[in-house]
Structure 1
Amino acid sequence: MLAPTTAIATARGENVNIENLNQQPKIAQIHSCQELFDQAPAGYLITDQAGLVQEANQVAAHLFGVANGQLLGKSLAAFVAAESLDQFLLMLAQSQQDSAEQSAEICFVTPQGDLLHTILSINAVFDLTGQVAGLRWLIQDISDRKQTETQLQQQVEQGKWLGAIARRIRQSLNPQEILDATATATKSFFQADRVLISRARPNGDWVNVTEALESGWTSVLGFAVEKEWVTERLDVYQQKGAYTIHNIEQASLSPRSLELLHHYQIQALLSIPIIQDEQVLAFLSVHQCRSPRNWQMSEIDALQQLADHLATALHQSELYQQIQRLNADLEKEVQRRTIEVQRAVAFESMLKRITDKVRDSLDESQILETAVRELTLVLGLSGCNAALYDLDQGTSTIHYEYIDSIPAYQGRVAQMNHFPEIYSQLRQGYYFQFCSLSPNPVRGQVAMLACPIFVDSESSQGVEQVVLGDLWLINHKDYVFSEFEIRLVRQVANQCAIAIRQARLYQAAQVQVRELERLNRLKDEFLSTVSHELRTPISNVKMAIHMLRTATTEEKRQRYLEILDAESTREAELINDLLDLQRLEDACYPITFEVIRLQDWLPGITEPFHARTTVHDQILDVSYPSNLLPMVADPVVLRRILAELLNNACKYTVPAGEIYLKVSQESNLGLNLNSITVFTLRNRANIPHSELPHIFEKFYRVPNADPWKRGGTGLGLALVQKLVEQSGGTIKAESTDGWTSFTVRLPTQIQTEI
């Protein structure tokens, strides 16, 4: 074994004379060699033949990342990386046999675990006897150059990979094929355990649409990515363009995020957004599942470039898909237009046929029967019906129906307020189709189209819609009425409305013609009656005057004077009735209200009629309670009302027939009055129901109701009705089971404003 100084000198290639070692110049030279050895720019080591370090300069210690002196006694082979160990051992063996210098690239691993790439040179140091005294090692650090070479190599490989995948994904215009090819190539290049591509749903969530997976790991294809996960990392994407996790256990993650990554079996993550026109189309994510992974900038750059290529490919695919859709839409539009033209021709033909049939009639029933039949047959429906509205009663009644395969509903009456969601729309002129959620107990579950039949009507507020009824079309539950069918039904409904209005106008005109004929007949009868009634008293007056002139006795003269007085009074009353009726119609009849005690006042009214009924063998019964409240009324008017009703009853009651007059009072808080006084007059007489609506008309007389020919002008009941209304009351007539009754209701007290 050489002494250190000798070894150092020998390592410098000097010839050392041992005998001269104690000479001072040589010692100074040795110290100078030691200083050069320590301060050399490269690493120098002196080892024995087995490779144990005996000397190491400061550069060598620095390269290995240890303090100066810590290398001494260590085996240099222990620092050699596994991939360089065979080469190192070969150099060590050859150095024992050959003095020539050997060099090779050797990779060391520092105690800190870092790789040290070097050019390692070795040559043997021989002693004076020619034996190998030690080994001299020169270490040149080429880590930077190696890293540069590695980076260049990676860039070349990345360039080749990116070029290949770019060509591959651009060969396809199918988005899913592009995504699948990208995921597969990325997994292969990165030697990753999983590669995912996630895209957004319309609701904002993200879903894994493509996956390339190494066997042994759980597939997450089709899984939804929580929107919150993406939202929390948008800032990272916007600032850095990539989101990286080297080790999930060392990253600052929320418990929820950590749970999600564990669920995905992820140890390390690299994710890049795929952006087109500042919009995120998707996310490309690389997962390392078996262990953490330090993502290199070159890997991030490669994935970013791939994302750019993918964005371009997806954009081109989208443009192609848009063109394909536009072409398909254009073709569909041409087909649709062709069908529309054909349908329009068929529509006009069907509408003209139905319209002609509907307008051929002025009979409302025939119009609607034709409409529902033609719609059912033309459209192939299960059935169709037409209903008419009674807006005052709030009802809809199905009057006309044509059915093919459903139960009949004709005659069914629906209360509109029971189905407000339907009839509120129909009454506003809206049509709609629907299918009931719960099956109808008779028809089951069917699809229906409801369309209103309405006409425009002028009013003080302008033109408004008046709904006459509706059309209902019924078909099986899965049927959807097309726009063409809806348009046809609406047109038919409009034609029905026009035809119904014309039919009703015609019917109204016919009613007016009949009414005019009736009025003309009444006029003739009135003129005949009035002329007769007016002439009869005048004739009797003339006859009485003539007889008065020729009378020879005082008794005869007195009798003729009585006739003269009665007939003149009768004539005056007839004329007064006509005048009073005219004044009542003009609302200028004078009425003076007074307090009347009915208990004291009524006997004076009914007494003359007791005598009259006795003469005609009739029975008159007048009843009223003794506690009647005083009544505020015009006594003249009230007398005339009761007298006319009693006179009318006496005139038309058969002999031995009963006449009842009953007076009562009842409260009527609904009208805000203290009470109502009710006069009810019943007598044995019969008025046909068809004649009751006319008995209060002027000059009207019930046919065949005066077998005793007692006469009359037909003004009495008309005058009574006007007097009752003028007094603030009502009168009602009824006739049933051989009895006729008149009920007069008058306020007991007249309400005054406070």
Structure 2
Amino acid sequence: MSPPIAARNIHESIDVITRSLNAVAAPIYVKGQDHRWLFANVACCQLLNSSLEQLVGCLDQDVPALVDAGTLGAQDEGFFQSGETPDPQPITIATASGRHQVTCSRTRLETASGPILINTLQVVGELAQVRQTNYELRQQLEERNGALEKLIEFEATLKRITDRVRDSLDEKQILQTAVQEITEALNVRGSNTSLYDLEQGTSTIYYEFTTLPSDRGRVSQMEAFPEVYHQLLEGQYLQFCSIAPNPVRGLVSMLACSIFDDRGVLGDLWLINDKDHGFSEYEIRLVQQVANQCAIAIRQARLYQESQSQVRELEQVNNLKDDFLSTVSHELRTPVTSMRVALQLLGVTLSQELGMEQELTSPDAQQSRIARYYRILKEECEREISLINDLLDLQRLDVGNHDLALQTIQLDEWLPALVNSFQERATSRQQQLEIVLNDNLSVIRSDLSSLDRIWAELLNNACKYTPPGGQITLSVLPGQEDMAKFDLINTGVEIPQDELPRIFDKFYRVPSADPWKQGGTGLGLALVQKLVQHIGGVINVESGNNQTCFTIELPLSLEK
């Protein structure tokens, strides 16, 4: 990763100063605004008879050779403050050859860490040469600062274009943005972008931004221009000028860059300008970077479109499945209902003639074959009716065709009655079933039929999957922001963590989780989730530490 621009600026400035000042024959030193010396070139060290290590970090009065250290410091301070030295006086220095008068030529330079002073010492009589040297130094620094400003501009332009290109998942918008931004950034006459059909060997211009006559839609056969497309297909760039004038454009200069990534070439990006314009290294780098960003963005856009297409296909398949199940459910409901009525009449007849009603209360082994067959027929018919009703209810909930009948529900009356209907079943399976109500929560306003269906299904599952000796507890507590919280916990059973995200899917059943081998359709929890959402609530499930907890949060007062 490249260092930040500010850090590179400081580093390069110091590097330029060091190399440049050591190459100058005149004595020069650099100090900060705190008057501590930062650098002295070789000539200055020789003049002051001190090493660079002895001078760096010193104040003026710490330099032995400076006889007029106070005068020098005052003049430097004045230059720091105003950028000039009024009525400068020569400074006396003591060298090995005696005392000399020197004049000072000062330059203030702004850096990222603050202003610095570059002071050229000139023995009286050599001032003209020093001024020329100082001028050349300033020129070098200005050229380097200009290069740094160009680099900053390049990075800002690239970031702006990259952000706009990669923010889109629309291939058309990506390419149109790229040609517009690059044309305006480089101030060229126009640009266009083509996409390749490698199987057909063609390049088609899809988008452009230009003041020239439009070429959009033009198809080029790659084999007709091998000198161009051979390089572009290799991921290279090329620039050239037209030899013969184009009937419309005249003579122009052109730059072409491939739009490619590690999976291959997708297309190209062309820039067009006046015939005398040569594209600089800066412009070529910018176009290459933009082309690379276009390749990334196009791949992302195509992957997104593919995923959206797959989602639409899956939705269509799911809708077909739902339509099929809805149709089949409606068609089956009438004959199955007729079967139920026939079974009821058959049961009445068999009870009157054979006393089967009494026989059905006996253990299975003591029942006659007729009684067993009748019981099996009745149970399976009820299972089919339950399945059909679940499918139809799910279909109505999916399309929003499930009416709400709101009423005030007394929790201390409704829940105990509901739980008591499962007590006999739990006791027969050696399970403990209890309910815990909070005294501060007595009523809610909701749809009673939906609540009955939700808790009948969850309690039925709790009894179905809890092993003998397990505990089933339904507790009700006040929730947050006018919500009621219901927790149904059953012990002795866990749902694997990788199965939890799927338990509310239609027809999904957790493998090997039914100790009583009672079977099921896998629609119960899907219906529960839909009903909870229908009455404005949310349902969550957690499983671990040898227990499973279903949590439902419902509004205390549901409004239509």
**TM-score calculated relative to the size of structure 2:** 0.43
TM-score (norm 1): 0.33
> Which structure's relative contact order is higher, taking Cα pairs within 8 Å and 6+ residues apart?
2
